[in-house]
Structure 1
Amino acid sequence: MSAPAGLAGPVPAARFHEQALQKVFSVMKQFKFPSAYTILFLIIIFVAILTWIVPAGKYDTRMDEAIGKEVPIAGTYHHVEPNPQGFEDVVLAPIAGFYNPDSYEANGIDVALFVLIIGGFLMVVTKTGAIDAGIAKAMEALQGKEKWMIPLLMAFFSLGGTIYGMAEESLAFYPLLIPVMIAAGYDALTAVAVILLGAGIGTLGSTVNPFATVIASDAAGVSFTDGIFLRLVFYIVGLLICIVFVMRYAEKVKRDPKASFVADMYEANREHFLTSTDAADVPELTGRRKIILLLFLVAFGIMIWGVAAEGWWMARMSALFMVMSIVVAFVGRLGEAEFTDTFVDGARDLLGVALIIGIARGIVVVMNGGMITDTVLYWSEQAVSGLSSIVFINVMYWIQILLSFFVPSSSGLAVLTMPIMAPLADFSDVGRDLVVTAYQSASGMVNLMTPTSGVVMGALAMGRVPYEKWIKYVWPLLLILTIGLMVGLSIGAV
C-alpha cells in the first residue's frame, strides 16, 4: 500500500532517482570526445574487424588507357581467399598510410611533407612581421566590411573545387586565413568553414574537375560534358546556401563571441593565432614587409597555376614553398641559424596534422588488405539492380555516400565504382551521366565531414576545432544540401 500524500514514504525513492540522474548527468558532463587520432585509429580497428566478417572478394580488372588506371570489370566478381587483418596489420596501417607501394591511393607521405613545409614557410613569413602588419592593415581597410570577405573567399575556393577538385592543396590556406578571421572578430571555425565548405561545395558540384568528373565520366562511357547543366545548378545553388550559412554564423559570433562553437577556446585561440594582440605591438608595414607579402601572394599564385595548368602535385608544390621560404628569409634579413630554427619550429607546429593524414590513409590500407572493398561494391551492385528510375538514382546516391566513407579519394572512388555501377543505369532507364552526378555529389557531401579524410581532419587540427563541434555546426547544412541533391537527382531521373 502506498503512503498517504504528504508522508515521507516515497521520498527516499524519489531522492534515490534524483541522485542517480545527477550522477548520470555528472558523468556525461565529464565525458570528453576523443581526439582525431583516437577516432581514426578506432575506425581502423573497426574496419579490421569487418575483414573477419565480410567475405573476401575481387573483380577482375583491365587497364583503362584513357585514365591510366586499372578498373574493375562488371560481372567478374568472385570470392577469394580471405585475408583478415590482425593486430600487426592494425598497428602497421598508419605507417603504410604514409607509404604503401602497393596502393598509391593510400599514400600520404607526399601530402604530409607538403604540410610540414607549408608550416615552415608560414613561420618564416610570420617571423619577419609581415603577416601581422598585413593583417592589421587589411582590418583597417575593411573596417565595417569584414563580412564581405566570406562570400568572396568562398567563391574563390569553390572555383578551385569545381575546376580541379581542390583538396589537399587547400591545407596551405588555413594558417593564412585563420588569423585574419579571428582579427576580424570571428572565430577559427568560421575560417575553417570558409575554406572547407567553399572548396568542398565546388568539388561536390564539379563541372570540369579532371580528378572526379572527367575520370568518372570516362569510366562510365560518357562525355564529361554530359549532365554538366545539372552539376552547374548544384554548384551555384549549393555555393549560395553555404555562403548564407557561414555568414549567418559569422555575424552571430561577431555580435556575441559566446555564441561560437569554440567559445571555450576564444582566448587561447587568439593567443595562438595572433602574434600581436595589442595594437601597440603590431609591426609597421614597411616597404620590406610589403615585398615579403607580395612574395607570399606570388607563392600561392604560382601554386594555383601549377596545379590547374601544369598538373603539379605535392612534390613540386613542396619544392616551391621551400624555395620561397629561402627567398623570404633573404629579403627579411634572417640569419642562417634564425631561418633554419624558425622553419623547423613552423614544421613542428603542423606535425600533428601530418600524422593525422597518414593515419587516415591507413583505413584504405586495411580495407584493401582484407579484400573487402570489392565485396562492398558487389553488394552495392546487387542493391540497385532492377529499381525504377527515381528509386535507382536515390539508392545510388546513398550507396555512394556509404562507399565514400571508406574511399574518401574522389578519383579512387570513381575508378572503383563507375565501371560497375554506371552500366546498371541502362536497365533503370537512367542516363549514365546522372550516375556520375550522383557519385560526385555523394563524394563531395561526405568529404565535408568524414573523419576518414585527411583533408577534413587536417583542416580541423589546424583550426583547433574539435571534430564533434564541427559536426554539431555543419549537420544542418548537410541536411539541407542532401534534401536539395535528392530532389535534383529525382528530377533528373524523370
Structure 2
Amino acid sequence: MEQAKKKGFKMPSSYTVLFILIIILAILTWIIPAGEYEKNEAGQLVAGTYKTVQSNPQGIYDIFMAPVYGLIGNKLTTGSIGVAFFILIIGGFLGVITETGALDIGIASVIKKNKGKEKRLIPLLMILFAIGGTTYGMAEETIAFYPLLIPIMIGVGFDTITAVAVILVGSQIGCLASTVNPFATGVASDTAGISIADGIVWRLVFLVVMVAISIFYVYSYATKIEKNPEKSFVYSQRKENLELFKIPESSEAMTKKQLYILWIFILTFFIMILSLIPWGDFGIKIFEQFNDALLGLPVIGGLFRHAAPFGTWYFSEITMLFFVSSVLIGVVYGMSEDKFLEVFLKGAADLIGVALICAVSRGIQVIMNDGLITATILHWGEIGLKGLSPQLFITLTYLFYLPMSFLIPGTSSLAGATMGLLGPMAEFVHVRSHLVITAFQAASGVLNLFTPTSGVVMGALAIARIDIIVWIKFLAKLILIVILMSIVILVIATFFY
C-alpha cells in the first residue's frame, strides 16, 4: 500500500489570519478591564478623566458580527463600505479599459521605451507616491494602481513584490513623514491645539531620509532579482504570475479611439489626486472660487448645484469619478450597453475579494471598541509615559505608538484618540507637542507597511497574490532600519526644544 504523502504546513489565508486576530481580541475583552474617557465638545478625549466602566466582553455572536459591522459600521466604529464600494467600481473601470486594449498597448509602450533602463521607474514612481502620502495621506486610493503596475514590473523582469513595494512602501513612507497630511498631521495638530505648520522642518527631515532609504532598499532588491530571478521571494509563483497578470506584447499600432481612452484614463487619475489634496488648508482658494463661479452660471450652475470643489472630495466623489470615466470610455470605444455591463461587472467581480478584506480588517476595531478596551489600553500608555526625560519620553512614545498603530490602523482615529492625552503630557517633560505628532506619524507609517489590520496592505497583497508572511520577510530589514532611524531623528530633535 502506497504511503500517504506528508502534507507540509500551509499558511492560512489573509481572511483566516484576520479572523484569528478578531478572536484573540474578543478573548482579551474578557481579561482587560473596560474603561472610557470623558470627551470635550469637539469629541476629543480629556486627559486624566479615565474611569473603569462595566465590562462588555465580546462573545461568539459578536465575533461573527464584527466583519459585518466592519463593513456597514455601528455606533462606535465607522464602516468600510465606502472604501469597499470604491474598490468594486475601480475593478469595473479597469475591466472596461482592459476590454478596449488601450491599456495593453500603453503598457507595452512603457516596457519598450524603458528596455535596458527599467529600474529608473522605481525611484521616480516611489517619489510620486511618497508625495501623495505626505500631502494628503494617499492610502486606499493606491488600490487602483496595483493592477496597472504589476504587469509592467513583471514585463521588465522584476516581480510582484517589486510592484507592490513601489506603491505601498512609497505611499506609506510618505504617510510616515506626513508634512501636511490633513488626515494625520491635521487631525493630530488640531487635537493637540497647535498649528499644522509646527514641526514641519522635522517632518521634512523624515521625508527626505526615509524616502531615500526606502528607494535604495527596493532598488537593491530589484537589482538582485534582475540578475538572478531565483532570489525573488515569490519565485515559486513566477510562472503562475506571468499567466495571471497579462503581459502585453502587442505590436499593434494604437488607434485614435485607444489614444483618446488613454487620455481619459490619465485624466481620471489626475483629477482624483487633484481633488483629494486639501487645498483650502494651504490657503489656496482657486478651486473654491472656480466652483462658486461654475455654480453662478445660468443653466450649467443648476446642473452642478451640489458639486463640491476640488480639495473637499473623498471616497464618494472619487467613486463617482471612476464610474463616470468608465461610462465615458465605453461610449468613446463604441461599446454596446450589454457589452459594457458584462466587462464592468466582470472587472468588479475580480476585486470583490479585495473589497471584502477591508471589512474583515475593520472588524478588529469593532471588537476593541465594542468591548470597551481601547480606552484602557490608552490609559496604560498615559500612566507609563509620565515623569521621564525628554529623550526617553519621545522614544517610549514612539514605541507606544507601534502597537497602537497595529490595533488602530486609521491615522485619523488614532490621532483623535491619543493626541489630546500625549500632546499636553509631552510639554510637562519639555518635549514639544509637534514632536509627539511626528513620533505618532512615524510609528503609524512603519506599521502600515505590513500590519494585517490594514485593509490597504491586505488589499494590495490580495491583488498581487502575495502571502502576508512573505511580504513581512521582504520588509523585515527595512522595517528595522526605519524604526532605528526614526528613534535617532526623534531623540536628536528633543535637544531643540
How does the TM-score come out when normalised to structure 1? 0.91
Q: Name the CA distance, whole Å, in 2 between partners of 1:399 and 1:168.
A: 25
Residues 171, 455 of structure 1: 8 Å contact kept: yes
Partner residue in 1 for 2:255: 286
Partner residue in 2 for 1:74: 47
Amino acid at match of 1:303: M
Partner residue in 2 for 1:6: none
Partner residue in 1 for 2:106: 134
Q: Deviations over 1:433-490 (max 9, x none)?
A: 1111111111111111100000110011111111111000001001001110001111
RMSD: 1.4
For residues 265-284 of structure 1, the aligned pairs below 5 Å read 265-274=237-246, 276=248, 279=249, 281-284=250-253
Partner residue in 2 for 1:47: 25
Aligned CA distance change for structure 1 residues 350 and 282 (closer, same or farther; 3 Å)? farther
1:83 counterpart = 2:56: yes
Structure 1 residue 310 displacement after superposition: 2.1
Stretches of 4+ aligned residues off by more than 4 angstroms: none
For residues 23-34 of structure 1, the aligned pairs below 5 Å read 30-34=8-12
Aligned CA distance change for structure 1 residues 191 and 50 (closer, same or farther; 3 Å)? same
Partner residue in 2 for 1:337: 338
Partner residue in 2 for 1:312: 313
For residues 239-388 of structure 1, the aligned pairs below 5 Å read 239-274=211-246, 276=248, 279=249, 281-308=250-277, 309-388=310-389
Amino acid at match of 1:239: V
For residues 97-176 of structure 1, the aligned pairs below 5 Å read 97-104=70-77, 106-176=78-148
1:203 counterpart = 2:175: yes
Q: Name the CA distance, whole Å, in 1 between partners of 2:244 and 2:409.
A: 31
Q: Name the CA distance, whole Å, in 1 between partners of 2:41 and 2:144.
A: 34
Structure 1 residue 427 displacement after superposition: 2.1
Residues 385, 396 of structure 2: 8 Å contact kept: yes
1:229 counterpart = 2:230: no
- 2:388 is paired with a residue whose SS is coil
For residues 401-440 of structure 1, the aligned pairs below 5 Å read 401-440=402-441
Aligned CA distance change for structure 1 residues 282 and 465 (closer, same or farther; 3 Å)? farther
Q: Name the CA distance, whole Å, in 2 between partners of 1:270 and 1:233.
A: 40
Q: Deviations over 1:224-247 (max 9, x none)?
A: 212111111111110011111111
**Stretch moving more, 340-349 or 175-184:** 175-184
Q: Name the CA distance, whole Å, in 2 between partners of 1:445 and 1:411.
A: 16
Percent identical residues: 48
Gaps of 5+ in 1: 1-25, 65-69
Aligned CA distance change for structure 1 residues 489 and 275 (closer, same or farther; 3 Å)? closer
Amino acid at match of 2:68: I
- 2:401 is paired with a residue whose SS is helix
Residues 183, 274 of structure 1: 8 Å contact kept: no
**Equivalent position to 1:187, from 145, 154, 159:** 159
Q: Name the CA distance, whole Å, in 1 between partners of 2:101 and 2:396.
A: 54
- 2:40 is paired with a residue whose SS is strand
Q: Name the CA distance, whole Å, in 2 between partners of 1:151 and 1:275.
A: 22
Q: Deviations over 1:252-285 (max 9, x none)?
A: 2222221111111111111111164xx4x55432
**Stretch moving more, 199-208 or 142-151:** 142-151
Residues 132, 282 of structure 1: 8 Å contact kept: no
Q: Name the CA distance, whole Å, in 2 between partners of 1:103 and 1:368.
A: 6
- 1:52 is paired with a residue whose SS is coil
Partner residue in 2 for 1:17: none
Question: Which protein has the larger Cα radius of gyration, Structure 1 or Structure 2?
Answer: 1
Q: Deviations over 1:128-147 (max 9, x none)?
A: 11111111111111121111
Residues 60, 72 of structure 1: 8 Å contact kept: yes
Amino acid at match of 2:118: E
Q: Name the CA distance, whole Å, in 2 between partners of 1:222 and 1:412.
A: 18
Q: Name the CA distance, whole Å, in 1 between partners of 2:251 and 2:102.
A: 10
Amino acid at match of 2:254: L
Structure 1 residue 304 displacement after superposition: 0.8
Partner residue in 2 for 1:7: none
Gaps of 5+ in 2: 278-309
**Stretch moving more, 151-160 or 420-429:** 420-429
- 1:440 is paired with a residue whose SS is helix
Amino acid at match of 2:11: F
**Equivalent position to 1:213, from 182, 185, 190:** 185
Q: Name the CA distance, whole Å, in 1 between partners of 2:69 and 2:461.
A: 23
- 1:163 is paired with a residue whose SS is helix
Residues 155, 247 of structure 2: 8 Å contact kept: no
Structure 1 residue 30 displacement after superposition: 0.9
Partner residue in 1 for 2:471: 470
Structure 1 residue 101 displacement after superposition: 3.6
How does the TM-score come out when normalised to structure 2? 0.90
Q: Name the CA distance, whole Å, in 1 between partners of 2:194 and 2:93.
A: 43
Q: Deviations over 1:91-127 (max 9, x none)?
A: 00000000114145x3110100100110110111011
Q: Name the CA distance, whole Å, in 2 between partners of 1:288 and 1:245.
A: 40
Q: Name the CA distance, whole Å, in 2 between partners of 1:215 and 1:288.
A: 44
- 1:144 is paired with a residue whose SS is coil
Amino acid at match of 2:22: I
Aligned CA distance change for structure 1 residues 198 and 459 (closer, same or farther; 3 Å)? same
Residues 132, 283 of structure 1: 8 Å contact kept: no
Residues 405, 446 of structure 1: 8 Å contact kept: yes
1:57 counterpart = 2:30: no
Residues 76, 370 of structure 2: 8 Å contact kept: no
Q: Name the CA distance, whole Å, in 1 between partners of 2:224 and 2:96.
A: 34
Partner residue in 1 for 2:295: none
Instruction: Give aligned pairs, total.
Output: 460
- 1:61 is paired with a residue whose SS is coil
Partner residue in 2 for 1:5: none
Q: Name the CA distance, whole Å, in 1 between partners of 2:179 and 2:462.
A: 30
